[in-house]
């Protein structure tokens, strides 16, 4: 474990422990001030003077959201926030010291929160003008202090998950956090998964370090070994993300963020989706609040069962970093004007958000092509009309999914284009040729199937 990971872990544990005190604060005004103060101190400790980037991002976005026409504020906020995010990562070219890696994490989640807030404001105004009654996107009444409290709140300030401003408001004003069972919910996240994932992470980090792919010794290994190496490195990558996201969820649970009654059928990132009138009514009846079941689906970031066991790329991605997936779907995919290119646009924005390293674009850029090929083979292997045994089709699709993800994730982990090309040269860019073959062969089989069905 490197030093940055250690610092990351320390602040996660601190935030979990602090949540036991934070959730006991009943005064809303005091609670949001203390939450913002603690978040500010965390940012200052890891960022020092680089906190200026955070302050600039919040202040400019606050001015955009409050004073720009609400019909366009979300577009202006998006352009500014992502432009500043790119500048933030290129400061060395302007003779400005490069920010610490943890400040980069803060800037990433802050970008989603502030752009997401602008979209919330735009949606609320749009619904009001069209007289739509959507309780999940009401007109927000904001001032600059509200935006600072939301931006600096310690929950998720360093690690995420993404949660809407409406979720932030309701964690202050709704009484649900007084009646749930946070310790039970937190223990279900921690045990046995964190010890298992940590053990696998440390083992793979020690036995199959990704830096080994750049050594002279690695070149002497057989082709099969060099290609197989993407499997343990991707396993290490997944374990690291699983640990961080699960602990981030525990921070939310202990702080009372994103807790709602089960009957609301909350979705990651979005919050409650059903029975919203009943949600208002139950807040007035303490006897009902005591017997109601609660969940934290609103801040649920990772479903590792789905990530590991769903047989397709599309399903796997939907279960990965789900609150960020929600933001991408809501703010980019659904709003992009050209349906033909919205998947590419969403993946491009995802790449920009993750960083300026070429490896992010190479990795994320592979996904749309993988989805095109996958859709063909879903029709072949997961369709009854092809008479492929269901279990066999599932196993083949699962293998292909993990193979593709592992190959793409290596570029994400190596980051630098020189290192990426060095590795891909060592395996002769096998996945590119394999994907082309699968596309052509899959199209042939599908055409034969359709011809058979027409003549049947």
The pTM score is: 0.92
Interval 234-252 mean pLDDT: 96
Number of neighbouring beta carbons within 10 Å of residue 397: 21
Q: What is the pLDDT averaged over residues 40-44?
A: 96
Whether pLDDT at 414 is above 90: yes
Domain membership of residue 105 (yes or no) is yes
**Buried (b) or exposed (e) across 18-52, using 16+ Cβ within 10 A?**
bbeebbebeeeeebbebbbebbbebbeebbeebbe
In a domain, 146, yes or no: yes
Confidence of residue 258 (pLDDT cuts 50, 70, 90): very high
Q: For position 456, what pLDDT does the model report?
A: 67
> Does residue 233 lie in a domain region?
no
The pLDDT value given to residue 92: 81
Whether 295 and 184 have beta carbons less than 8 Å apart is answered as no
Over residues 290-308, the mean pLDDT reads 95
User: End of a domain among 126, 154, 172?
Assistant: 172
pLDDT at 251: 97
261-276 pLDDT, tens digit per residue, is 999 999 999 999 998 8
What's the N-to-C CA distance of the chain in angstroms?
61
Between these two residues, 374 and 389, which has the higher pLDDT value? 374
Residue bearing the bigger pLDDT, 379 or 133: 379
Total length of the chain: 456
Give the whole-angstrom CA distance, residue 385 versus residue 259: 44
Where does residue 198 rank: exposed (0-12), middle (13-18), buried (19+ CB within 10 A)? middle
Can you tell me the distance from the alpha carbon of 165 to that of 106, in angstroms, rounded to the nearest whole number? 17
pLDDT above 90 covers a percentage of the chain that reads: 75
Q: Is residue 235 part of a domain?
A: no
Q: Is 329's pLDDT higher than 80?
A: yes
Whether 264 is in a domain gets the answer no
pLDDT on residue 171: 95
DSSP string of 9-67? HHHHHHHHHHHHHHTT---HHHHHHHHHHHHHHHHHHHHGGGHHHHHHHHHHHHHHHHH
Structural domain including 325 reads 321-455
> Is 144 within the bounds of a domain?
yes
Of residues 182 and 452, the one with the higher pLDDT is 182
Active site residues: 321, 354
Residue 127 has pLDDT above 90, yes or no: no
pLDDT at residue number 280: 86
The Cα–Cα gap between 181 and 342 comes to: 41
Mean pLDDT, the chain, whole residue set: 92
| Alpha carbon distance 434, 366 (integer Å) | 13
Mean pLDDT calculated for residue range 210-222: 96
| % of the chain surpassing 70 pLDDT | 97
The answer as to whether 255 is a domain residue is no
Provide the number of structural domains found in the chain: 2
pLDDT at 135: 55
* Three-class SS state of 294: strand
Per-residue pLDDT, 389 = 85
CA distance 294 to 311: 30
Give me the helices (H) in 221-260, please.
Answer: 223-228, 230-255
| Structural domain includes residue 250 | no
Tell which of 132, 147, 172 closes a domain: 172
Structural tokens at position 379: 């029709």
Q: Quick check: 70 and 50 in contact, CB under 8 A?
A: no
Give me the pLDDT at residue 176, please: 95
What pLDDT band is residue 117 in, cutting at 50, 70 and 90?
A: very high
61-96 core/surface letters (b: 16 or more CB in 10 A; e: else): bbebbeebebeebbbbbbebbeebbeebbeeeeeee
pLDDT at 413: 92
> Which has the closest alpha carbon to 283: 128, 417, 176, 208?
176
* Among candidate residues 124, 154, 172, the one where a domain is terminated: 172
Q: Are 232 and 239 in contact (CB under 8 A)?
A: no
Tens-place pLDDT, residues 368-387? 899 999 999 998 898 876 66
Predicted confidence (pLDDT) at residue 132 exceeds the cutoff of 70:
no
| Best mean pLDDT range from 84-93, 354-363, 377-386, 446-455 | 84-93
Contact yes or no for 94/84 (Cβ under 8 A)? no
Flag whether pLDDT at 146 surpasses 70: yes
């Amino acid at each position: 474990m490197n030093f940055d990971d250690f610092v990351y872990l320390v602040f996660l544990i601190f935030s979990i422990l602090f949540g036991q005190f934070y959730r006991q604060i009943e005064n809303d005004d005091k609670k949001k001030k203390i939450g913002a103060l603690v978040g500010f101190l965390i940012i200052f400790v890891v960022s020092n003077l680089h906190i200026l980037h955070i302050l600039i991002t919040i202040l400019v976005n606050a001015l955009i959201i409050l004073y720009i026409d609400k019909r366009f504020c979300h577009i202006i906020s998006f352009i500014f926030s992502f432009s500043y995010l790119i500048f933030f990562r290129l400061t060395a070219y302007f003779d400005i010291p490069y920010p610490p890696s943890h400040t980069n994490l803060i800037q990433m989640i802050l970008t989603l929160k502030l752009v997401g807030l602008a979209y919330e404001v735009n949606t609320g105004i749009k619904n009001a003008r069209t007289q739509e009654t959507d309780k999940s996107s009401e007109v927000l009444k904001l001032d600059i202090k509200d935006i600072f409290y939301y931006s600096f709140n310690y929950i998720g300030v360093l690690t995420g998950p993404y949660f809407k401003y409406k979720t932030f408001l309701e964690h202050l004003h709704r009484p649900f956090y007084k009646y749930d069972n946070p310790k039970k919910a937190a223990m279900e996240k921690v045990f046995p998964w964190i010890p298992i994932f940590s053990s696998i992470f440390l083992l793979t980090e020690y036995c199959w370090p990704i830096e080994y792919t750049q050594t002279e010794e690695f070149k002497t290994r057989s082709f099969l070994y060099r290609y197989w190496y993407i499997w343990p490195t991707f396993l290490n990558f997944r374990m690291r993300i699983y640990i961080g996201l699960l602990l981030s969820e525990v921070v939310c649970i202990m702080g009372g963020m994103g807790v709602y009654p089960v009957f609301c059928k909350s979705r990651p990132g979005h919050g409650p989706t059903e029975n919203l009138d009943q949600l208002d009514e139950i807040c007035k009846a303490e006897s009902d609040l005591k017997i109601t079941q609660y969940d934290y689906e609103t801040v649920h970031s990772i479903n590792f069962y789905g990530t590991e066991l769903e047989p397709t790329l599309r399903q796997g991605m939907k279960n990965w970093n789900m609150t960020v997936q929600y933001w991408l779907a809501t703010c980019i995919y659904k709003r992009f004007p050209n349906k033909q290119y919205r998947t590419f646009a969403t993946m491009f924005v995802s790449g920009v958000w993750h960083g300026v390293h070429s490896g992010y674009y190479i990795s994320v850029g592979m996904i749309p092509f993988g989805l095109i090929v996958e859709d063909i083979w879903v029709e072949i292997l997961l369709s009854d009309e092809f008479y492929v045994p269901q279990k066999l089709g599932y196993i083949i699709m699962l293998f292909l999914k993990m193979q593709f993800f592992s190959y793409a994730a290596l570029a994400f982990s190596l980051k630098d284009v020189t290192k990426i090309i060095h590795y891909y040269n060592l395996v002769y860019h096998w996945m590119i040729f394999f994907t082309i073959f699968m596309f052509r062969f899959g199209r042939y089989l599908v055409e034969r199937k359709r011809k058979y069905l027409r003549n049947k």
